[in-house]
């Protein structure tokens, strides 16, 4: 369905990116091919000159991939999108397009560990300067800006702290300096947050997470607000080769059809689980955008259409408590990643953010006892019962007196 501007978001999830196909297929076919046959030598020449209509090679374009790209672009309210082989391939495509020797980037402190590492260990070697800043502090963002700042990269909510940055205010500052703003919208998805509405220039997702939603794909995407930004990003992606394949594109597009309804359940469950954790004796603190105790609660109300499915909480007992809990859960799966239908739990200090090192983790607010929970779509009572059992085991191991009262 090409004309999707006048339908509601839930309907866009089902219909966006869908075209008319040979034999009347309702679902976009999987064009699992590396190369495409030309109608004639002249047709091939026109395609290479960018004048003809069609496809040349799947690294450059593919109908199945384009259907998925059009779907995500429509959901975000963007002009165009570029499917990538992973979330990191999407991030690298943005960095490689806008950053060069002598340029400066302002990046959120609370950011996915490999994003931090990519800037520190790869782009630094090419003469790119990075300032890692608490982007929830607008004054700190402004103070970090320089004459050579070309990009402000914001992850909000941040990973894993769930810090919420005020996008409208950051955009004002960045654009005053002529810098682009790129937002990692993975944690919220377009169902809950649409950064283009706040003036953001580029959005990236790890589609591995909520967009696909079934923990069976590794994929990423770059979405642009203005079509003029598409061509330079496309050229970099084409030359570096980090493109998504047709089959994973098909799976993501299929997953997107249930995005709206899945996000409703993620939000409902996470709210109940966060409220349970906030009252538990073994929990030092809980960070969840839907709790009034969240430091950027009101920014979230302004920016989000729901509170999301991600929770972080700090255990009493630090690193040891985190390790014990990881070994005690049964329903919640001990695994990195997030956004799938199943609840996933992990310990950032020893897993996703280990590569940052202890000093960088401390600066980013990632403590030794922090636990990140991706709340799935199971019955919330089962999730809470599993967490309560595991927390009891933590207390027993650390000799904390408590009453065993499993959720019923």
Catalytic residues: 59, 112, 184, 209
Find out whether 186 and 206 touch, Cβ atoms under 8 Å.
Answer: yes
Q: Give SS3 for 303.
A: helix
Contacts of 130 (CB under 8 A, 6+ apart): 104, 105, 106, 107, 119, 120, 123, 124
Q: Of the candidates 239, 155, 196, which has an alpha carbon nearest to the alpha carbon of residue 72?
A: 196
What residues does 119 pair with on adjacent strands? none
Backbone angles phi, psi at 208, to 5 degrees: -55, -30
Contacts of 161 (CB under 8 A, 6+ apart): 110, 287, 312, 364, 365, 366, 370
Cα 189 from Cα 223, distance rounded (Å)? 12
Cα 392 from Cα 402, distance rounded (Å)? 8
Element containing residue 80 per DSSP (H, E): strand 80-84
What residues does 252 pair with on adjacent strands? none
Contacts of 80 (CB under 8 A, 6+ apart): 69, 73, 223, 224, 227, 230
The helices-and-strands tally (H runs, E runs) of the chain is 15, 12
DSSP state string for 21-34? -GGG-SSPP----S
Contacts of 270 (CB under 8 A, 6+ apart): 288, 290, 307, 308, 309, 310, 311, 375
Cα 238 from Cα 352, distance rounded (Å)? 29
Cα 7 from Cα 191, distance rounded (Å)? 14
């Amino acid at each position: 369905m090409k004309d999707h501007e006048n339908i509601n978001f839930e309907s866009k999830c089902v219909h966006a990116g869908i075209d008319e196909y040979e034999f009347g297929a309702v679902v976009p076919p999987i064009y699992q091919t590396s190369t495409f046959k030309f109608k004639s030598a002249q047709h091939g020449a026109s395609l290479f000159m960018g004048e003809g209509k069609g496809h040349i090679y799947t690294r450059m374009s593919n109908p199945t991939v384009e259907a998925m790209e059009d779907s995500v672009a429509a959901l975000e309210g963007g002009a165009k999108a570029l499917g990538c082989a992973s979330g990191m391939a999407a991030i690298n495509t943005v960095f490689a397009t806008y950053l060069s020797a002598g340029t400066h980037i302002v990046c959120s402190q609370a950011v996915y560990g490999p994003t931090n590492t990519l800037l520190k260990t790869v782009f630094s070697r090419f003469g790119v300067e990075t300032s890692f800043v608490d982007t929830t502090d607008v004054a700190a963002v402004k103070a970090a800006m320089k004459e050579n700042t070309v990009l402000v990269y914001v992850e909000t909510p941040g990973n894993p702290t769930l810090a919420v940055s005020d996008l409208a205010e950051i955009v004002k500052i960045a654009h005053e300096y002529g810098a682009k703003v790129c937002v990692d919208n993975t944690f919220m998805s377009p169902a809950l947050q649409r950064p283009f509405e706040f003036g953001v220039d580029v959005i990236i997702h790890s589609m591995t997470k909520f967009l696909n939603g079934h923990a069976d794909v590794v994929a990423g995407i770059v979405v642009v607000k203005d079509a003029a930004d598409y061509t330079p990003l496309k050229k970099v992606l084409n030359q570096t080769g980090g493109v998504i394949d047709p089959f994973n594109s098909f799976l993501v597009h299929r997953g997107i059809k249930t995005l709206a309804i899945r996000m409703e359940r993620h939000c409902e469950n996470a709210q109940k689980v966060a409220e349970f954790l906030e009252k538990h004796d073994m929990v030092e603190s809980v960070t969840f955008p839907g709790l009034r105790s969240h430091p950027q609660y009101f920014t979230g109300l302004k920016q989000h259409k729901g509170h999301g499915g991600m929770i972080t909480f700090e255990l009493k007992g630090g690193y040891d408590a985190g390790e014990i809990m990881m070994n005690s859960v049964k329903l919640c799966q001990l695994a990195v990643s997030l956004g799938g239908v199943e609840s996933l739990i992990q310990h950032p200090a020893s897993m996703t953010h280990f590569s940052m090192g202890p000093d960088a983790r401390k600066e980013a607010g990632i403590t030794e006892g922090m636990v990140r929970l991706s709340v799935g779509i199971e019955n919330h009572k089962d999730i809470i019962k599993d967490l309560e059992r595991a927390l009891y085991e933590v207390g027993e191991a650390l000799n904390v007196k408590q009453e065993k009262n499993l959720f019923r």
